[in-house]
Structure 1
Amino acid sequence: MALDIALLHAVVAVARAGGFREAARMTGSNPSRLSDAVRRAEQQLGVRLFNRTTRTVVLTEAGRVLMARLLPAMNEVDAALDALNSFRTTPGGTLRLNVPVSAARLILPAIVPGFLQRYPDIRLEIVAESNVQDIFRDSCDAGIRYDDHLEQDSVALPIGPRVQRFAAAAAPAYLAEYGVPRHPRDLMQHRCLHGRYATGVLAEWEFTRGAESVRLQPQGPLICSIGAAMDLTVSAAIAGAGVVYLFEEWLKPALQSGALQPLLTEWWHSFSGLWLYYNDRRLIPAPLQAFLDYIRERNAAHSDGIA
C-alpha cells in the first residue's frame, strides 16, 4: 500500500508529541495542517490511527501497531539523511536543545552566535523550561542541566563557567527604609521577593560561609515562577519592593549600575556550573556532533586562558 512519506512524517510527529499543537511546535508546522495530514493518511490506509477528543489525541490499537514497525524505519531514514552530512562542507540540519531558563539567559548568549556563524546550515532550536523533564521525550537531541538533574545513562560535557553563585541584593531606597541585614537570618524580618518551582514547591534560600550553612524559607510580597518570570522579581527589587536572591550573573547589570546594592556578600552560596548532556547510545546526528566539538573547543580555549 503506497502512502505519501510526508503523511507518514505527520503521523509520526503527532504520535511522538501526543497532540497536534505540540507536534506543530516541534516540527515548525501548524496544528490544522498536521490534522489534515493525519486525516488523509487515515483515509488512504482505511483505518483510524488516533482517537481524538477536545483534550487528548491517543493512538488506537491500529496506530500502536503501525508505530511499533514505523518508528524504527523512520529513525533509519533520518540516520541515512544525516549520513549525507559527511559529504557536505559544513553540517546541516536541526539541533534541538532542552535547557533551563537560566542557561538561555546567562550561558548560551556567549555561545550561540559563534556556533551559528561557524555552522550557517544548522538550525538551532532552544526549548527553555523551568521544570526538569526527560529531554529525549520531546525529540530533543541534548540538554543542559545542573549536575543534580543529569539524566541517567547520559554523557555529560561541561558548558559555561564551572562555578556560579547566588547573590542577595536590594535597592538603596528599600535599605534606607528597612535597614541592612547583617546575617542571613535577619532576612526573616525583611520583604523577600522569591520563587516557586514548577512542582509547586517554594524555593529555599541557602547561604554558606566556610563550614556554616543557613537555609531559610523566605517570606514576602511577591512570588514568581522560577524561570523567565524572575525578570519581574529583579524589576520589583530595583523598584524597591524587597530583597532578591538570584544568580549573580542575572543581577550583575543592576549591581554594576548601582540600581541594586549587594548584601551579605560573604554568605553568597556557590554551586557547580552547568553540563551539556546527551545519550551516546543513540546515533549522534551531525548538528549535535558539531555542537559537542564546538563546546569542547571552547572549553580547551578557556582552560588555556584564551578568551
Structure 2
Amino acid sequence: MNLDFALLHAVVSVAKAGGFREAARITGSNPSRLSDAVRRAEQQLGVRLFNRTTRTVTLTEAGRALIERLTPAMSEIDAALDAVNQFRSTPGGTLRLNVPVSVSRLVLTAIVPAFLQRYPDITLEIVAESNVQDVFREGCDAGIRYDECLEPDMVAIPIGPRVQRFAAAASPAYLQQHGHPSHPRDLMQHRCIRGRYANGVIPAWEFERDGETLRVRVEGSLVVSIGGAMDLAVESAVQGSGIVYLFEGWLHPAFEQGLLEPVLEPWWLSFSGPWLYYHDRRLIPGPLRAFIDFIKQQPT
C-alpha cells in the first residue's frame, strides 16, 4: 500500500494534539488542510482513524493501533533526516523555541539577527508567552527559562547576560509630587503599577541589600498582565501613574531619555540570567545543534 508520507505526518500531528485546530497551531498549518489530509489517509487505508464530533476528535481502535506503531517509526525517520542534515554545508529546517516575553525582548534581540544571517536556510519560530508552559507540549524543540523554571531531565546552557536586575522607577513629575522613597517599605505609601501572572497571582516586590531581603506588598490603581502588557506599565509610569518595578533592561531606554528616574537602586534585586534547555538525547536536530553551537560562541 502506497501512502503519502505527508498524510502520515498529518495523522500523527492530529493524534498528538488531540484536535485539528491545536495541531494546526503547533505545525503552522490550518485545520481544513489537516482535516483533508486525515480524510485522504482514511480513504487510502480503508478504515476510520478518528471519531469526530463538533467538540472532540478522538482516535478509533484502528487509529490507536496505527499510532502506537507509527509514532516510533516517524521518530526514527525524523532522526534519519536530521542525520543527513548534518552533511549539508549549511544546516536547514525549522527551529521552534518557547521563551518568556522578557527573553524575547531583552535577550534574543541581540542574538537572532546574527544567527539568521549565519544560517539562512533555518527558519526560526519564537513562541513568546508570559505563562510558562511545557515547551515540548507546544511542539517546540527547546526552551529558554530562568533557574527556577528549569526541569531536571534537561540539558541547560547559559544564554544572554549572566546577571540581571529588577529595577524600580518613576517619572520625574511623579517623584516631584510624591517624593522619593528611601526604603522599600515606603512603597506602601505610593501608587505602584503592579503585574499579574496568568494564574491570577500578583507577586510582591522583592528587594535585597547587604544580605537583607524584603518582600513588599504594594498597592496601586493599575494592574497589567506580566509579559503581555509590560510596555503599557512602562508608558504609564512615564506619564506619572506611579512606580513601576521591572527588568532593568526593559526600563533602560526610558532611563537614557530621562523619562524615568531610578528608585531605591541600592535595593535592586539581582538574579542569574536565562538558560537554553533541551532534552538530553543522542541526536539533536540540525537547526537546534546550530543554535546551540552559535550560543556557545557568544560572549556572556
TM-score normalised over the length of structure 2 = 0.95
> How far does residue 143 in structure 1 lie from its aligned partner after superposition?
0.7
Give distance in 1, aligned partners of 2:251 and 2:285. Answer: 37
Secondary structure of 1:298's aligned partner: coil
Residue 277 in structure 1 maps to residue 294 in structure 2:
no
Residue 65 in structure 1 maps to residue 55 in structure 2:
no
Query: Higher mean Cα deviation, 160-169 or 225-234?
Result: 225-234
Give distance in 1, aligned partners of 2:102 and 2:54. Answer: 34
The structure-2 alpha-carbon separation of the partners of 1:296 and 1:6, relative to structure 1 and needing over 3 Å to count, comes to same
The residue correspondences of 1:1-307 to structure 2 (distance < 5 A) are: 1-281=1-281, 283-299=283-299, 302=300
> In the TM superposition, what whole-angstrom CA distance separates every residue of 1:253-301 from its partner, at most 9, and x where no partner exists?
01111111110000100011100111122520111111111111114xx
> In the TM superposition, what whole-angstrom CA distance separates every residue of 1:3-23 from its partner, at most 9, and x where no partner exists?
222111111111222222222
The structure-2 alpha-carbon separation of the partners of 1:262 and 1:8, relative to structure 1 and needing over 3 Å to count, comes to same
Give distance in 2, aligned partners of 1:53 and 1:241. Answer: 50
> How far does residue 50 in structure 1 lie from its aligned partner after superposition?
2.5
> How far does residue 57 in structure 1 lie from its aligned partner after superposition?
2.8
> How far does residue 228 in structure 1 lie from its aligned partner after superposition?
2.4
Structure 2, unpaired ranges of 5+: none
Which residue identity lines up with residue 183 of structure 1 in the other structure?
H
Give distance in 2, aligned partners of 1:222 and 1:61. Answer: 53
The structure-2 alpha-carbon separation of the partners of 1:39 and 1:195, relative to structure 1 and needing over 3 Å to count, comes to same
8 Å CA contact 1:190, 1:242 repeated in 2: yes
Give distance in 2, aligned partners of 1:244 and 1:32. Answer: 45
Give distance in 2, aligned partners of 1:138 and 1:61. Answer: 26
Give distance in 1, aligned partners of 2:283 and 2:250. Answer: 36
Which residue identity lines up with residue 17 of structure 1 in the other structure?
A
Give distance in 2, aligned partners of 1:261 and 1:84. Answer: 54
> In the TM superposition, what whole-angstrom CA distance separates every residue of 1:210-266 from its partner, at most 9, and x where no partner exists?
111110122111111111211111111111111100000000001111111110000
The structure-2 alpha-carbon separation of the partners of 1:191 and 1:60, relative to structure 1 and needing over 3 Å to count, comes to farther
8 Å CA contact 2:254, 2:260 repeated in 1: yes
The structure-2 alpha-carbon separation of the partners of 1:79 and 1:168, relative to structure 1 and needing over 3 Å to count, comes to same
Which residue identity lines up with residue 219 of structure 1 in the other structure?
E
The structure-2 alpha-carbon separation of the partners of 1:35 and 1:184, relative to structure 1 and needing over 3 Å to count, comes to same
Secondary structure of 1:43's aligned partner: helix
Give distance in 2, aligned partners of 1:224 and 1:58. Answer: 38
Give distance in 2, aligned partners of 1:167 and 1:197. Answer: 18
Secondary structure of 1:6's aligned partner: helix
Structure 1, unpaired ranges of 5+: 303-307
Give distance in 2, aligned partners of 1:164 and 1:117. Answer: 27
> In the TM superposition, what whole-angstrom CA distance separates every residue of 1:30-82 from its partner, at most 9, and x where no partner exists?
11111121222223333332333444333333322221111111111111211
> How far does residue 128 in structure 1 lie from its aligned partner after superposition?
0.9
8 Å CA contact 2:196, 2:226 repeated in 1: yes
Give distance in 2, aligned partners of 1:56 and 1:221. Answer: 42
Residue 305 of structure 1 corresponds to: none
8 Å CA contact 1:98, 1:144 repeated in 2: yes
Give distance in 2, aligned partners of 1:97 and 1:54. Answer: 32
Which residue identity lines up with residue 204 of structure 2 in the other structure?
E
8 Å CA contact 2:27, 2:139 repeated in 1: no
Query: Higher mean Cα deviation, 75-84 or 271-280?
Result: 75-84
Aligned alpha-carbon RMSD (Å): 1.5
Which residue identity lines up with residue 8 of structure 2 in the other structure?
L
Which residue identity lines up with residue 231 of structure 1 in the other structure?
D
8 Å CA contact 1:134, 1:151 repeated in 2: no
The structure-2 alpha-carbon separation of the partners of 1:74 and 1:218, relative to structure 1 and needing over 3 Å to count, comes to same
TM-score normalised over the length of structure 1 = 0.93
